[in-house]
């Protein structure tokens, strides 16, 4: 149900603490499809990430074929930004594979 992407390390190989946490929740088939929840991190930093993600996911429900490709792009963006990212699509993803 979630993908944690906080595997950033410093030059000594030590893990770097994430700068923010964002959980992306699928709300259902009626727009808006997505909700963003953050436990910690600078609000403006999280808002800028949210704007980039919404540009990719605005009209995409999880069953859309384009969703998987855009989800991977969002995951890479979160990793580059050192954001701990979780996905809640409303179902257990391991059971659907």
State pLDDT tens for residues 8-65.
Answer: 666 777 777 888 999 999 988 876 789 999 989 889 999 999 999 998 888 888 888 8
Whether 5 is covered by a domain: the verdict is no
Better-scored residue on pLDDT, 2 or 31: 31
Helix 43-57 to helix 65-80 angle, to the nearest 10 degrees?
160
Distance, CA of 15 to CA of 37 (rounded, Å): 24
Whether 69 is covered by a domain: the verdict is yes
Whether 4 is covered by a domain: the verdict is no
Whether 3 is covered by a domain: the verdict is no
Whether 83 is covered by a domain: the verdict is yes
Whether 28 is covered by a domain: the verdict is yes
Whether 71 is covered by a domain: the verdict is yes
In terms of Cβ atoms closer than 10 Å to its own Cβ (0-12, 13-18, 19+), residue 49 is buried
- Return the DSSP state at 95: T
pLDDT score at 46: 93
Whether 10 is covered by a domain: the verdict is no
Distance, CA of 68 to CA of 88 (rounded, Å): 14
Q: Could you list the residue range(s) of the whole structural domain that residue 35 is in?
A: 20-88
The structural domain count of the chain equals 1
């Amino acid at each position: 149900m979630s993908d944690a992407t906080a595997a950033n390390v410093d030059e000594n190989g030590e893990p770097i603490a994430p700068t923010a946490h964002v959980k992306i929740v699928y709300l259902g088939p009626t727009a808006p499809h997505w909700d963003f929840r953050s436990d910690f991190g600078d609000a403006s930093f999280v808002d800028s990430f949210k704007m980039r993600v919404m540009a990719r996911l605005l009209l995409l429900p999880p069953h859309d074929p384009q969703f998987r490709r855009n989800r991977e792009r969002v995951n890479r963006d979160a990793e580059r930004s050192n954001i701990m990212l979780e996905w809640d699509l409303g179902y257990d993803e391991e059971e659907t594979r």
